[in-house]
Amino acid sequence: MTLINKLNFPDSFQWGTATSSHQVEGNLTNNDWYAAEQQGGYIYENQRSGQACDWWNRAEEDFDRMAAMHQNAHRLSIEWSRIEPRQGVWDESALARYREMLVGLRQRGITPMVTLHHFTNPLWVSEAGSWENEQIITWFERYTRKVVAALGDLADIWCTINEPGVVVSHTYLLGRWAPGKRDINGALHATINMMRAHAASYRAIHDLQPTAQVGLAHHMIIWKPWRPYAITDLLATNMVRYMFQELLLKTIAWGVMRVPGRRSYLMPEVRNTLDWIGLNYYQRYRIRLGLPPFSKPSVEHRTHPDLQTGPGEWGEIHPRGMFDTLRMLWKVYRIPLYITENGIPDENDENRPGFIISHLHQLWEAIREGVPVKGYYFWSLIDNFEWTEGYDPRFRFGLIGVNFETQERHIRPSGNLYSAICRDGGLSRDLVSQYAPHLAQTVFSGA
Got the DSSP string for 348-375?
T-SSHHHHHHHHHHHHHHHHHTT--EEE
Min dist CB 19 to ligand FCB, Å, is 8
Nearest to 339 by CA among 399, 394, 280, 254: 280
The answer to whether residues 317 and 309 touch, using CB atoms and an 8 Å cutoff, is yes
Min dist CB 219 to ligand FCB, Å, is 5
Cis peptide upstream of residue 413 (ω within 30 degrees of 0): no
Nearer to ligand FCB, 219 or 361 (CB): 219
Min dist CB 339 to ligand FCB, Å, is 12
Min dist CB 175 to ligand FCB, Å, is 17
Min dist CB 22 to ligand FCB, Å, is 8
The answer to whether residues 159 and 116 touch, using CB atoms and an 8 Å cutoff, is yes
d(CA 231, CA 239): 12
**Type of residue at 383:** D
Strand-pairing partners, residue 257, are 265
Nearer to ligand FCB, 20 or 201 (CB): 20
Rounding to the nearest 10 degrees, give the CA dihedral for residues 279, 285, 286, 292: -110
Cis peptide upstream of residue 445 (ω within 30 degrees of 0): no
Nearer to ligand FCB, 364 or 387 (CB): 387
The answer to whether residues 110 and 69 touch, using CB atoms and an 8 Å cutoff, is no
Nearer to ligand FCB, 98 or 387 (CB): 387
Rg of the chain (C-alpha set): 21
Nearer to ligand FCB, 166 or 205 (CB): 166
Min dist CB 397 to ligand FCB, Å, is 6
Min dist CB 159 to ligand FCB, Å, is 11
The answer to whether residues 132 and 186 touch, using CB atoms and an 8 Å cutoff, is yes
Binding site for ligand FCB (CB under 6 A): 20, 23, 162-163, 166, 219, 280, 341, 379, 386-387, 397
d(CA 396, CA 402): 9
Min dist CB 210 to ligand FCB, Å, is 29
Nearer to ligand FCB, 220 or 289 (CB): 220
Min dist CB 163 to ligand FCB, Å, is 5
Helix-, strand-, coil-residue percentages of the chain, each rounded to 5: 45, 20, 35
Nearer to ligand FCB, 223 or 397 (CB): 397
Nearest to 444 by CA among 253, 181, 43, 431: 431
Nearer to ligand FCB, 139 or 385 (CB): 385
Nearer to ligand FCB, 84 or 341 (CB): 341
Nearer to ligand FCB, 9 or 338 (CB): 338
The DSSP code for 3 is -
Q: How far is CA 45 from CA 41, 177, 235, 374, 390, in A?
A: 8, 15, 36, 39, 8
Own/partner long-range contacts of 435-441 (Cβ < 8 Å, ≥24 apart): 435/353, 435/354, 435/357, 436/353, 436/354, 436/357, 436/358, 438/354, 439/354, 439/357, 439/358, 439/361
Min dist CB 294 to ligand FCB, Å, is 33
Min dist CB 211 to ligand FCB, Å, is 27
d(CA 31, CA 38): 11
Nearer to ligand FCB, 126 or 380 (CB): 380
The answer to whether residues 372 and 385 touch, using CB atoms and an 8 Å cutoff, is no
